[in-house]
């Protein structure tokens, strides 16, 4: 366990950052991957108080960038045991007026990027007969949400991708699961108008918003040996917002 490596996309902030910090305390070496290099370095600095870290400039719209990121991780650490596909963006708008580029970009980053990252991570995991892929989905991928057709489609796609990959690699000692957060206090949700936040809060059974650490703890569990018989599962971390 001491030498396992976790490659985390979107690790510069929010859920990705919380996951990097939670997992390094469990003994994982961390690949901090996102296009926000300054923030990547800040997170890596915090990680290095516990474990080695590598910073990768990752563009999920580019398969070449994804391949290069994994090549750097393999050169630095010689292994990638856990992939956390956390990176995600929004470009919200009503479907009738949604621009093609906003549809394409969200699907490319949130869904295609996750697939191509998994494609790079799997050969080592299969060879070692041990691996964990954990995809960050969303409550809206299960329940839908007006004004987010692109984001909802990408996150529903992540759930389908999780189940397909899980079936393909289950016999090789690799598990593939998803975590579906509800409303988590991050930079992404901070931009929402107050009335939207209050409406969301009213729909949450626990009457509080989630914290990035709530999601990171779920990821940490699914990455652990304790979760070795769980695959193709979607773990809801939403405070009872959707059941």
- Residues 32-74 have pLDDT tens digits of 999 999 999 999 999 999 999 999 999 999 999 999 999 999 9
In this structure, is residue 170 part of a structural domain? yes
pLDDT reading at 187 higher than 90: no
SS3 35: coil
Q: Would you state the structure tokens that stand for residue 202, as one six-digit string?
A: 């009213």
pLDDT reading at 113 higher than 70: yes
DSSP state of 52: -
DSSP state of 13: S
Q: Which residue(s) pair with 32 in the sheet?
A: 8, 55
CA distances from 91 to 95, 101, 103, 151, 238 (A): 11, 9, 8, 8, 22
pTM: 0.97
Report d(CA 78, CA 61) in Å as an integer.
25
The total domain count for the chain is 1
- Give the model's pLDDT for residue 12: 98
In this structure, is residue 147 part of a structural domain? yes
- Give the model's pLDDT for residue 70: 98
What's the average model confidence in pLDDT over 89-106? 97
Task: Map tokens 């600095």 to a residue.
Answer: 45
Question: Do β-strands 5-9 and 29-34 pair in parallel, antiparallel, or remain unpaired?
Answer: parallel
In this structure, is residue 169 part of a structural domain? yes
Q: Which residue(s) pair with 179 in the sheet?
A: 136, 235
- Give the model's pLDDT for residue 186: 87
In this structure, is residue 241 part of a structural domain? no
Of 197, 210, 198, residue with least CA distance to 240 = 210
- Give the model's pLDDT for residue 1: 55
In this structure, is residue 83 part of a structural domain? yes
In this structure, is residue 242 part of a structural domain? no
**Residue 151 annotated in active site:** yes
In this structure, is residue 91 part of a structural domain? yes
- Give the model's pLDDT for residue 188: 76
What is the total residue count of the chain? 243
At 140, the pLDDT band (50, 70, 90 cuts) reads very high
- Give the model's pLDDT for residue 206: 97
- Give the model's pLDDT for residue 190: 83
What percent of the chain has a predicted confidence (pLDDT) above 70?
A: 99
In this structure, is residue 243 part of a structural domain? no
Exactly one of 28, 151, 229, 242 is catalytic; name it.
151
Report d(CA 200, CA 207) in Å as an integer.
9
- Residues 81-97 have pLDDT tens digits of 999 999 999 999 999 99
CATH code assigned at 225: 3.40.50.720
pLDDT reading at 2 higher than 90: no
CA distances from 209 to 43, 141, 204 (A): 23, 18, 8
Domain range holding 163? 5-236
Report d(CA 77, CA 94) in Å as an integer.
44
Report d(CA 121, CA 182) in Å as an integer.
27
Buried b (16+ CB within 10 A) or exposed e, 72-108: bbbeebebbbbbbbbbbbbbbeeeeebeeebbebbbb
- Give the model's pLDDT for residue 95: 98
- Give the model's pLDDT for residue 120: 98
């Amino acid at each position: 366990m001491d030498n396992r490596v976790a490659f985390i996309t979107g690790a510069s902030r929010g859920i990705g950052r919380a996951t990097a910090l939670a997992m390094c305390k469990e003994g994982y070496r961390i690949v901090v991957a996102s296009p926000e290099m300054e923030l990547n370095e800040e997170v890596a600095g915090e990680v290095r108080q516990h474990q080695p870290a590598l910073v990768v400039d990752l563009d999920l719209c580019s398969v070449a960038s994804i391949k290069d990121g994994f090549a750097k991780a393999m050169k630095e650490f010689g292994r990638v045991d856990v992939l956390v596909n956390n990176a995600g963006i929004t470009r919200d708008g009503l479907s009738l007026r949604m621009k093609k580029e906003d549809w394409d970009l969200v699907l490319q980053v949130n869904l295609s990027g996750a697939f191509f990252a998994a494609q790079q991570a799997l050969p080592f995991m299969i060879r070692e007969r041990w691996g964990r892929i954990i995809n960050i989905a969303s409550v809206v991928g299960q329940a839908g949400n007006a004004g987010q057709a692109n984001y909802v489609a990408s996150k529903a796609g992540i759930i389908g991708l999780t189940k397909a990959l899980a079936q393909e690699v289950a016999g090789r000692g690799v598990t593939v699961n998803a975590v579906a957060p509800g409303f988590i206090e991050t930079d992404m949700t901070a931009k929402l108008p107050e009335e939207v936040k209050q409406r969301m809060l009213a729909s949450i059974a626990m009457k509080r918003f989630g914290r990035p650490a709530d999601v990171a703890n779920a990821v940490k569990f699914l990455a652990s040996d304790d979760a070795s018989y769980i695959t193709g599962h979607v773990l809801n971390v939403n405070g009872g917002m959707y059941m």
